Amino acid sequence: MRILVSACLLGLDTRYDGKNARSEAVLRLLEGHEAVPVCPEQLGGLPTPRPPCELAGGRVLDIDGQDRTAAFERGAALALETYRLCRCDAAILKARSPSCGKGQVYDGRFSGTTVPGNGVLAERLLKAGIAVYTENELERL
């Protein structure tokens, strides 16, 4: 299988804080498969590091109140294009992220609280009929 994967889960320092979220479980699952790493926030033109962002009222706002929705949308579109061009079979994305979260995302108050919802990329992939998993759902893949 060829799987689109959040780059931070592979150990690349692409998170907002310049760090990664390396997942040994994801790396083990990918053995024998081809990973296509993406960071939709970087694809959308945001720097690393960057201010943390959360979804609030259908928009993506950073902790300073700047609207980053356009960058997130641009990155999601490019990540979807990457998925299609590389002929991926599924996606494994970072849980709770405003880009990649599936089922739960941070609530927009920067309090660490989650609410039901999907990140911008996860939503776009799901609407396209693509199988999306987070690092917390690997048993379903």
Quickly count helices (H) and strands (E) in the chain: 4, 8
How many CB atoms within 10 Å of residue 138? 15
pLDDT above 90 for 56:
yes
pLDDT at 60 over 90: yes
Give the pLDDT score at 140.
80
**Is the predicted pLDDT of residue 93 greater than 90, yes or no?**
yes
Residue 128 pLDDT > 90? yes
Cα–Cα distance for residue pair 21/31, rounded to 1 Å: 18
Q: How far is CA 21 from CA 45, 60, 61, 69, 94, in A?
A: 20, 21, 22, 23, 8
Q: How many C-alpha atoms does 87 have within 13 Å on its Cβ side?
A: 1
Give the Å distances, CA to CA, from 122 to 65, 103, 126, 139: 23, 9, 6, 18
What would the mean pLDDT of 9-38 be, rounded to a whole number?
98
| Model confidence, pTM | 0.96
- Residue 122, pLDDT > 90, answer yes
